[in-house]
Amino acid sequence: MNIVYFLLLAFFWGTAYVGVKYNVDVMDPYLSAFLRTIIGFLFFWVWFIAKRKSVYLPVKKAWRPWAAGMLIMGLPFIFLYWGQQFVPAGTGGIFNGTVPLWVFIIAALTLKGEDAFTWRKAVGVLVGFVGLMFVFSPAVAKFAGSSMDKMSFYGSVSLLLMAICYAAGNVLTKYILTKDITMEQNVFHQYLFSAVFLGIVCLAAGSHLPGKEILQPKVIISILYVAIFSSAVALLLLFKLLSVWGALKASAVTYFVPFVAIGSDMLLNGHVPGKYEVTGLLIIILSLVLIQCEKPAKKAKN
């Protein structure tokens, strides 16, 4: 059954990029991000009430999930929804695939004694940057063209910032969240703070309400799908896998997300990724293998 959870998680996360693309094609990106967060918040609010789970936290503890929520949802959702306006859905999935690369770099620099650099991992990081150069190369080549071509480059940069935020959020969660905060309290307060933050962003940016275009079945389904399945349900699946498999094995889902994103983009939108994007993705996967599959040290003989 855990394999089913794993495959569902990869599917929900990978197909999210097609849903996000549908949203931003007809709606304000900040409003789209806010709707994803508030619907997810309401989902968990009802879920925890039904399960009679306590989510109260005093401010001296609540600031920790608030800070993590800013990096796991608040900021990366802004970068994701803004950037996805200008690049294909599959490309967004490729950038998501770089999250473990940034997790390793940030953890190695900030968490003392953990994820230390080795020659193998250092090579993996360099290989990962080569892969990113391949993914960026089409957008860079278009940068000297029209304004829309310029926006594809800026959109790619925005998605890269999304991945870095996701990674920083994962490291921060590992660093500041402790056993005195339950999973329910953590999730509830991350969603609560992120929804408030994105609501403020919408007001500050002057986000406009969508017109009749939001009533299209494709748009309604994509909004609900991304908010409920690709966010809330996916989070429950992740926690389940973490509890039975541990972080290292569960993190392998990252390898599959870009391929699901590209495949769903091809199937639903007819977009075929270019050779540079595919090459870059394969190089990034190789870099993750080099970083995460360190050979265990041999035990000394007595």
User: What is the residue-wise DSSP string for 230-274?
Assistant: IIIIHHHHHHHHHHHH-HHHHGGGGGTHHHHHHHHHHHHH-PPPP
CA distances from 21 to 15, 84, 289 (A): 10, 6, 29
CB contact at 8 A, 76 and 162: yes
Q: Which of 101, 80, 82 is nearest to 92 (CA)?
A: 80
Percent of the chain with pLDDT over 70: 88
pLDDT value for 179? 65
Instruction: Identify the residue with better confidence: 118 or 185.
Output: 185
pTM: 0.87
Over the stretch 91-134, which tens digit does the pLDDT of each residue have?
A: 899 998 888 888 888 877 876 655 566 777 788 888 888 988 88
Q: Is 28 in a helix, a strand, or coil?
A: coil
Query: What is the mean predicted confidence (pLDDT) over 4-30?
Result: 93
Over the stretch 41-65, which tens digit does the pLDDT of each residue have?
A: 999 999 998 988 888 888 888 888 8
pLDDT value for 248? 60
pLDDT averaged over every residue in the chain:
85
Q: What is the dihedral of CA 222, 274, 277, 147, to 10 degrees?
A: -70
Over the stretch 62-95, which tens digit does the pLDDT of each residue have?
A: 888 898 889 989 999 999 999 999 999 998 999 9
Q: Give the C-alpha separation, 31 to 18, whole Å.
A: 17
Query: What is the mean predicted confidence (pLDDT) over 26-46?
Result: 94
- Find all residues with CB under 8 Å of 259, minimum gap 6, and list them: 14, 93, 281
Helices 119-142/99-110 angle, 10° precision: 130
When pLDDT is cut at 50, 70 and 90, the band that residue 299 belongs to is: very low
* Amino acid (1-letter code) at residue 81: Y
Over the stretch 274-291, which tens digit does the pLDDT of each residue have?
A: 888 889 889 988 888 887
Q: Could you identify the residue written with the tokens 């870009």?
A: 258
Query: What is the mean predicted confidence (pLDDT) over 221-233?
Result: 94
When pLDDT is cut at 50, 70 and 90, the band that residue 217 belongs to is: confident
The b-or-e profile of 26-56 (16+ CB within 10 A means b, else e) is bbbbbbbbbbbbbbbbebbeeebeeeeeebe
Residue 96 has which token pair?
Answer: 């998501």
